[in-house]
Structure 1
């Protein structure tokens, strides 16, 4: 009998293989309908190697959740460091989320739609995670510089990014009439109009951003 080539995977490569497989199965079948044996069988690795790296299914789910949030936060941090003003940052964040939903829909679905606290009861709500705090930081800085209206930060953050998140969910559910990228420019404009400080005395450190649409 020919040995499964995946059996030779070890170390960091094995960890990534198991995390990718868990993401696929959790996204498709749900956490509670997926067993460690399902993951072992799909990944083609030994059950002992999974327990060695992760301990149990809950620990594996937490490792996956943390990994996905770290990757998402890294992308948002890059936007915040690259763009000089609030308008450019808001547009960049929305564009990043659009690209993520198009390029890796399983990850976006798991982050946005999985009921994490049902199987990770000690984790804070996803809206309190670092990526969402990064988006809040963008809003706080915009209010501080006068680029945004001086309204409550949760209200401004919801107005800026809540519509985007809802649009991503519609995309993931396959109910949008056009490709997601078609809505990028109008989503960016609508989000900015909802929060921008149009007062004649407002400090405006940015010009209208022209973030390109992600490729379809």
Structure 2
């Protein structure tokens, strides 16, 4: 299997990468315990050089944890990668869930969700690169769950209420959950991926209002 297909493309400048690494998303080695340092080091290495080009000694050196300590916390490298992915999904979905106010009107709610999506990508740059650019199904043996899949967690429950309220109030036409999610998450995800890959220059926060408007317009377009 070629490693290039599982490498997260870095894009952007070296200073941008350092900036992302030093953000609140990661913390510093002195602030983190061994398990967290291992996960942080693995995240950095998987993004910088790819999963298949990273070995346990690399993670040991970057995390300043012994190889024995790594195997004490994790069965193998794949388990580290899987834990990073699960943690990333949880943080992403929690951020979106927290942006939802069930009492707000549907349009404002949709806009808040999209803006939260874009903000997360910018504030958690390194983690977002791992979530959105790595091809996890090439190195994770378990079925890979997409971060934006329709789910039964708090985000899924809140969004279900939003959809039902919007449909009952005539704010959007009847729509299947899969279609709703494809519009509300597909449009911002396309921009975020291009930005993470270095193809767009405008920051997600700088275009989030426009992207949110496009998502709302997309839902309205289902009336035709």
The TM-score normalised by the length of structure 1 is 0.76
1:107 CA displacement? 0.7
**Residue in 2 that maps onto 1:158:** 182
1:181 aligns with 2:181: no
Gaps of 5+ in 1: 1-7, 200-216
Which whole-Å CA distance do the structure 2 matches of 1:198 and 1:117 have between them?
Answer: 32
With over 3 angstroms needed to count, the CA separation of the structure-2 counterparts of 1:45 and 1:28, relative to structure 1, is: same
Q: Which has the larger radius of gyration?
A: 1
Q: Deviations over 1:50-88 (max 9, x none)?
A: 000112111111111111111112212212257634323
Task: Report runs of 4+ in structure 1 exceeding 2 Å deviation.
Answer: 80-89, 127-143, 177-182, 196-199
Gaps of 5+ in 2: 1-28
Q: Could you tell me whether the CA contact under 8 Å between 1:139 and 1:156 is conserved in 2?
A: no
- Larger relative CO (CA 8 A, sep 6+): 1 or 2? 2
**Residue in 1 that maps onto 2:44:** 24
- Number of aligned residue pairs: give it: 191
Q: Could you tell me whether the CA contact under 8 Å between 1:80 and 1:89 is conserved in 2?
A: yes
**Residue in 2 that maps onto 1:112:** 132
CA-atom RMSD, angstroms? 2.9
Query: Which range is displaced more, 179-188 or 45-54?
Result: 179-188
Q: Deviations over 1:89-143 (max 9, x none)?
A: 3222211221122122111111112111221121333156577976665554343
Which whole-Å CA distance do the structure 1 matches of 2:199 and 2:65 have between them?
Answer: 37
The TM-score normalised by the length of structure 2 is 0.74
1:80 alignment partner, SS class: coil
**Residue in 2 that maps onto 1:143:** 163
